[in-house]
Amino acid sequence: MVAFVLRRLGVLGVILFGSSFILYNVAAISGDPTADLRLSTDPNRDYLIASLTRELQLDVPPPLRYFLWLKGVLGVFIGKPNFGMGRDGSAVADSLALAIPVTLRLVFAATLFAAILGIMIGIVTALRQYSRFDYSMTFIAFLLFSLPVFWVAVLLKEYLAISFNNFLREPQIPFSWIIGIGLVSGLFWASVIGGSRKTYWVTYAAAFAISSSLVAVFGVTGWLLNPSLGPIVILALSIGIAFGVTQLSVGLINKAALRASLTMAGLSVVAFYPVNWVFDNYPGALGVFLMACVLITTAVFVGLAFSKIDRAPIVRTAIITAVLSASLVLLDKFMQTWKPYMETDAINYRPVPTVGQRNDILETNDYWISSLDIATHLFLPTLALTLIGFAGYIRFARGTLLEVLNQDYIRTARAKGLSERTVIMRHAFRNTMIPMATILVADFAGVIGGAFITESVFAWSGMGTLALQGIRGQDLNLLMGVFFITATLAVLANFVADLLYSALDPRIRVGSGA
């Protein structure tokens, strides 16, 4: 195993060397950094050209200059990487250090949402193959696939940001919207749940009634201006989550698991006031992290306390329920921050921003307000990337699950009388997840490249912006710095995907053979 990992890392090093060599030379040939100086009429033009040539070592031919660059980059191994100087005289490493977290935040959020949503919808389409839901989702997936991201971005800016901000000035939801949202939600849930004609219409009516009345209540109470969940709603939702998670993971028939997850849901709500006290008095990521640790530990103990046999699935159910219900408490905290956030001068009741990764004139020391500010700035770019990314996941999850459902072991599982839930969740879903996990990791690297356009549309100062700046300004070191980071992430992600594949699928052994 160790030998396999080392050999693969060696190959990755060679690949990085080769591709950076190709790009360095292509980029060096296609642009002359002194071109704009040559055209200038500055009296000390020749001096400027000479100093730029000396600083960027332009007198060395590109293939050799590449090795000078490489020598600096290899300083990574002794802790002193040197990505060279940008044209403006600043160290490329410093610009990268600012840009990397920005891009990673965007890519991570977008990949996560795209994967979760896409896999869920993909699975439902596979289970309802050839239904109306399947056809409409297939169409939507193809449509999203074909959308240029910059086009979607302009539409989102116009309709989700500007119009929504205008709407918030006077949040009266018109009657036609209430009915419309109800109709769409009824159609969605009725097609997802399916069943006989009677079930279909009952589901339709229920979904219609619930969503229309929710929307109506939101409109009447001004919820959008001052949203909150409150302990009672959190309790109701948590109990729902407890039942849902238990049903999906082990089935409601397992009373121990149901009791454990209900206890965890209850505990999350009981902790509502103390947790909010901690949020207010000790704000920060550390506090949230510590409480998450306490929560998961508690969930493990509760799971163990309620179970005698078959403990692992019960503990797992308790943990999932606990994390989901606790996220509701966290969500509620963010909702409580919404009103003070909107009242700040920098926001002034226009909360959805169209550009930038954070509000520069927002002066606040409040951890929650600044977190919420980052979240609102993430909203549109993440949505644009998610919309386009999740189409691929829908198709892939659907195809994989259909393939798995045709396997002999699924027929065996059904034949020995397992419930449909067990067949789908234990036998089919898990085997679908093996290729999905590897695609997810590899895709994460791919999205970094795709985020370039998104960053440029939303004026984020991430790595994409740096790369474009490097190309426009003939700034070779800057471009190569960005490329080095993205390429390293890409090859590492593929490597991790390979390892993950062999870890998840026992049929694949690494290290054996060649």
Partner 1 sequence: MMARKSKASVESTEVLSGENAIQNKEIEGLSQGQIVRKRFFRHRAAVISLVTIITIVIMAFTALDFRLFGIWRVPGWWKWTPEDLPDLRFGDCPNDTVGCPTISLLPKFLGGQGIGLGSHPFGQDDIGRDFFALVMKGTQRSLSVMIIIGGMAATLGIIVGSISGFYRGRIDAILMRFVDFMITIPVIIIGSVIGYRYGNLGATFLAFLLGLFAWTGLSRLVRGEFLSLREREFVDAARVAGATNKRIIFKHILPNAIGVIIVSVTLLLSGAILLETALSYIGFGVVPPDVSLGLLISQYQDSFTTRPWLFWYPGLFIISIALSINFIGDGLRDAFDPRQRRRISKKERQDSATARKLAQADD
Contact window for partner 1 (CB under 8 A) among 116-124, 137-145, 201-209, 337-345: 137-145
From residue 106 to residue 135, what is the string marking binding to partner 1 with x (rule CB under 8 A)? ------------------------x-----
Number of Cβ atoms within 10 Å of the Cβ of 274: 10
| Chosen residue from 204, 272, 452, 458 binding partner 1 by CB under 8 A | 452
Query: Binding of partner 1 at residue 219 (CB under 8 A)?
Result: no
Q: Which CB atom, from 244 or from 399, has the smaller least distance to partner 1?
A: 399
Applying the rule CB under 8 A, the residues between 368 and 407 that interact with partner 1 are: none
Query: Binding of partner 1 at residue 145 (CB under 8 A)?
Result: yes
DSSP label of 459: T
Q: Which two tokens stand for residue 278?
A: 């901690």
Q: Which two tokens stand for residue 7?
A: 């050999």
| Chosen residue from 47, 67, 150, 282 binding partner 1 by CB under 8 A | 150
Applying the rule CB under 8 A, the residues between 453 and 472 that interact with partner 1 are: 453, 456, 467-468, 471-472
Q: How far is the CB of 487 from partner 1 (least distance, A)?
A: 5
Q: Which CB atom, from 298 or from 438, has the smaller least distance to partner 1?
A: 438
Applying the rule CB under 8 A, the residues between 32 and 51 that interact with partner 1 are: none
From residue 161 to residue 180, what is the string marking binding to partner 1 with x (rule CB under 8 A)? -x------------------
Q: Total residues contacting partner 1 (rule CB under 8 A)?
A: 43
3-state secondary structure string, 71-126? HHHHHHHHCCCCCCECCCCCEHHHHHHHHHHHHHHHHHHHHHHHHHHHHHHHHHHH
Query: Binding of partner 1 at residue 148 (CB under 8 A)?
Result: yes
Assign residue 136 a region: left if phi > 0, alpha if psi is -120 to 50, beta otherwise? Answer: alpha
Query: Binding of partner 1 at residue 22 (CB under 8 A)?
Result: yes
Whole-angstrom distance, CA of residue 141 vs CA of residue 283: 41
Query: Binding of partner 1 at residue 158 (CB under 8 A)?
Result: yes
Q: How far is the CB of 256 from partner 1 (least distance, A)?
A: 28
Q: What are the distances in angstroms from CA 428 to CA 408, 431, 440? A: 11, 5, 18
Whole-angstrom distance, CA of residue 253 vs CA of residue 260: 13
Number of Cβ atoms within 10 Å of the Cβ of 251: 15
| Chosen residue from 5, 6, 26, 98 binding partner 1 by CB under 8 A | 26
Query: Binding of partner 1 at residue 18 (CB under 8 A)?
Result: yes
Q: What are the distances in angstroms from CA 223 to CA 170, 211, 217, 229? A: 12, 15, 8, 10
Query: Binding of partner 1 at residue 142 (CB under 8 A)?
Result: yes
Contacts of 256 (CB under 8 A, 6+ apart): 306, 307, 308, 314
Whole-angstrom distance, CA of residue 53 vs CA of residue 55: 6
Q: Using CB under 8 A as the criterion, which residues of the chain lie in contact with partner 1 when the complex forms? A: 14-16, 18-19, 22-23, 26-27, 30-31, 130, 139, 142-143, 145-151, 154, 158, 162, 415, 448-450, 452-453, 456, 467-468, 471-472, 479, 482-483, 486-487, 490-491
